Amino acid sequence: MSMRLYLWQRATAALMVPLVLVHIAVIFYATRNGMTAADILSRTRGSIVWASYYGLFVVAASIHASIGVRNVLAEWSPLTDRRAERLALAFGLLLAALGARAVYAVVLS
């Protein structure tokens, strides 16, 4: 792994420490008496705070997961480093796109 990817991996990890802690708290809160769509959407719809929080989370997770997948492919698969990098980049872009769509779905739709 290059120094640049290593630093991005660690920076996004550090950024996600508080984000994941909040996410776990939200998981427990959301499931306190059964999850309903109305309950979830009433929290998220039109909320700039949740849109920013999840938007940042999606960006950080997409970068972090894509670097992680690149490392696993490079070390555990027969793919060349170059192919592993391309596949991981495509995966990261897919995650970012699906994540942005999910944030749009619960905040703006």
Partner 1 sequence: MHRGSALWIAALVHRLSGLALAIFLPLHFLALGLAIDGEAKFESFLRWTDQPLVKFAEGGLVFLLTVHLLGGLRVLVIENFDWRDGQKQVATIAAAISAIIAFIFLARVF
Separation of CA 68 from chain center: 12
Q: Does residue 73 contact residue 36 with C-beta atoms inside 8 Å?
A: no
Instruction: Report the nearest approach of partner 1 to the CB of residue 82 (Å).
Output: 20
Q: Does residue 88 contact residue 72 with C-beta atoms inside 8 Å?
A: no
Cβ-based nearer residue to partner 1, 31 or 82: 31
User: By the criterion CB under 8 A, which residues form the site for partner 1?
Assistant: 10, 13-14, 16-17, 20-21, 23-24, 27-28, 31-32, 34-38, 40-41, 58, 61, 65, 68-69, 72, 91, 94-95, 98-99, 101-102, 104-106, 109
d(CA 57, CA 50): 10
Instruction: Report the nearest approach of partner 1 to the CB of residue 81 (Å).
Output: 18
